[in-house]
Structure 1
Amino acid sequence: MKRILVVGGGLIGSRHVDAVLAHPACELVGLADPDMTLRTDVTRFAAMAEVDVHVDGVIIATPTQLHADHAIEAAQRGWHMLIEKPVTETLEQAGALVAAVKTANVRTLVGHHRRYHTHVEKLRQMITNGDLGTPITATMIWAMRKPDAYFQDNWRSTHGSPVMINLVHDVDLLRYLFGDIDEIHALGSRHIRNAGRPESGAIAIRFKTGLTAAISFADTAPSPWGFEAGTGENPNIATTGQDMMWITCASGSVSFPSMTVWSGSEDWSQTPKSRQLPHSKTDPLAAQMDHFIDVLNQKAAPKIPVDDAAQSLAATLRIQELLT
């Protein structure tokens, strides 16, 4: 049994608490968060400094601007860790964290949990194997209406950009599927809430392979299109089952998450034929926890190490810069 501490009791932190409690190979040490009214059903600490019992691994689920300080503190205590995305707020912090975990010789995994979906892995294998020929374009939509209360009287009122909270997942997913990014362009708007953060926009990305990707996003627009809505991975977001990504290749196309493949048309006069690939649903946080346990037991290397996550952070920060 691995003894796991969760730091941060917000929306994602509470889900991590539940994931640890549900895992047969884990024991929850407790939850560290200064708000002692959160999750009173588990052992509570106001801060990591108060934890005076043995910890095998820590899950850091605090606001992004606190990730570096908390992760470095965990490293100094010799705790292996799973850090929520984005890995840090700045690239300088990511560099400091890389140095800290290396000095402490602790194993570190970053929580880009979408990589653990079985149909994401199936899609990646299709692309890597060239099943549909050379990838040409990818188009994504992430659009939903976040409730106003989501931003009120908390850190999101100033750090609540959907780019850093949500699109960092989509950028990492594209990197996981298509490799290194070559160039980014973006246009943004904030004309609905008129807050000091981008709330909608369009992003164009060119990858070193030549593939181009387009992302349309908004946290002000009710819609059925988005990774969470399409896959049903988040219990706080309604499931629609609608596709939210479309990939075109030289010999066919595929839409996700339905895994509908279109092929059989050599020119525009022919009607493409469709088939739906079988795929199973996965609880990504549970699969991520399985992997974290393997990392703690030194049975696996981290699927998303800090330096890899830092590349997704760099691309997302560039998008944020272009939209500001």
Structure 2
Amino acid sequence: MSPPKRILVVGGGLIGIRHLQAVQAHPDCSLVGLADPDMTLAPDVKRFASMAEITEPVDGVIIATPTALHAEHGVYAAERGWHMLIEKPIAGDLPGAEALSHAVAKAGVGSLVGHHRRYHRSVQQLKELVADGAVGTPVCANLIWAMRKPDAYFEGNWRTAGGSPVMINLVHDIDILRFVIGEIATTTALRGKGLRGDTRIESGAIALAFESGATGTISFADTSPSPWGFEAATGENPNIGTTGQDMMWIMGTQGAVSYPSLTLWSGLDWSKPAESTPGAPEQDIKAPLDAQLDHFIDVMKGAPPLIDVADATRTLAAALQIEAQLTAQVEGAANARNAHA
């Protein structure tokens, strides 16, 4: 048996503490400590104000700091020769993500990015169904993410001035579509009216063109209570009520499949109703965060990552393109109002 992997956690926010607890509970991990400038956090574990204070051996680091710091912290970890699991989005901008990708390649360390939804067994089943031709050649996909976020979610924090659901929520859905269908070639986004403020991005519609020739749409809103969305559909988030309602549909030349029920629809004769075959989604043996840690240990041993820095950069690029399109519409509307004032 190989010795436990020595893991450092960087960032003591909500997700960082969850990572820390997962490392503590894992029999094949040894917690080096928590690095965070707030020394009042997790006083029961070894504490460091920054990664620069670490003098003891580290096999891997879990970076769960604010997104704007991901690239800087990842580059530093690569220079120290540490394998890394870095939270998503991979960086705050493309130059940062590209710099991190270069640093990882130069250092020859393993990288894994925390798009943890790929670890849901039902998501992997969906990918397998599509790859095996269960619906034929994918033609189009539709996805809905809609919930009514409480107003307090945006009060007294960084979301007050922004809090767009694109980078908070839809980046996950974009990654799932890439994982299941393939690379996204182009995007076109339309913004809905801001209800909490004219300058906010709260709802809209997104059209996607995949390199394969398939197309897709995403309808989104953080102002509308609904049963449709990944969290509600799968019960992933204990803070969001579970509905079990399908929220993604993929249509191909031989049929269609809905997620998360994995119901298959078939029938080539348009004069007859399509026939449905109930799906059999498998339950996760472990929570995705725990399965991700298992995989990170394997990556440190040389296994190929489910999603590395370069892969996650492509998800980030699509999300940033959509965000930029929506932001341009906000700015255009503001300029038009000013011109008529």
TM-score normalised per structure 1: 0.93
More off after superposition, 62-71 vs 187-196: 187-196
- Closer, same or farther in 2 for the Cα pair 1:40/1:102, shift >3 Å? same
Q: Which residue of 2 aligns with 1:284?
A: 288
C-alpha distance after superposition, 1:114-150 (max 9, x if no partner): 1111111111111111122111221111112233333
**Among candidates 308, 315, 320, match of residue 318 of structure 2:** 315
2:137 alignment partner AA: T
CA contact (8 A) 1:74 1:80 kept: yes
Deviation at 1:78?
1.6
1:86 is the counterpart of 2:86? no
2:300 alignment partner AA: L
Percent identity of equivalent pairs: 60
Q: Which residue of 2 aligns with 1:296?
A: 300
Paired with 2:12 and 2:193, the residues of 1 have a C-alpha distance of: 29
CA contact (8 A) 1:265 1:273 kept: no
Correspondence list, 1:52-91, <5 A: 52-91=55-94
Q: Which residue of 2 aligns with 1:255?
A: 258
Q: Secondary structure at the match of 1:291?
A: helix
- Closer, same or farther in 2 for the Cα pair 1:193/1:50, shift >3 Å? farther
2:116 alignment partner AA: H
- Closer, same or farther in 2 for the Cα pair 1:65/1:190, shift >3 Å? farther
Paired with 1:82 and 1:249, the residues of 2 have a C-alpha distance of: 35
Paired with 1:39 and 1:190, the residues of 2 have a C-alpha distance of: 42
CA contact (8 A) 1:117 1:281 kept: yes
Q: Which residue of 1 aligns with 2:204?
A: 201
Paired with 2:188 and 2:254, the residues of 1 have a C-alpha distance of: 28
**Alignment root-mean-square deviation, CA:** 1.9
Count of aligned residue pairs for this structure pair: 323
TM-score normalised per structure 2: 0.88
2:174 alignment partner AA: V
C-alpha distance after superposition, 1:217-276 (max 9, x if no partner): 122222222112211222333322221111112222111111111223521432423322
Deviation at 1:185?
0.7
**Among candidates 122, 129, 133, match of residue 130 of structure 1:** 133
5+ residue gaps, structure 2, are: 328-341
2:76 alignment partner AA: E
- Closer, same or farther in 2 for the Cα pair 1:293/1:267, shift >3 Å? same
Correspondence list, 1:235-274, <5 A: 235-264=238-267, 266-274=269-277
5+ residue gaps, structure 1, are: none
Deviation at 1:61?
1.1
- Closer, same or farther in 2 for the Cα pair 1:28/1:157, shift >3 Å? farther
More off after superposition, 275-284 vs 122-131: 275-284
Paired with 1:92 and 1:98, the residues of 2 have a C-alpha distance of: 10
CA contact (8 A) 1:265 1:272 kept: no
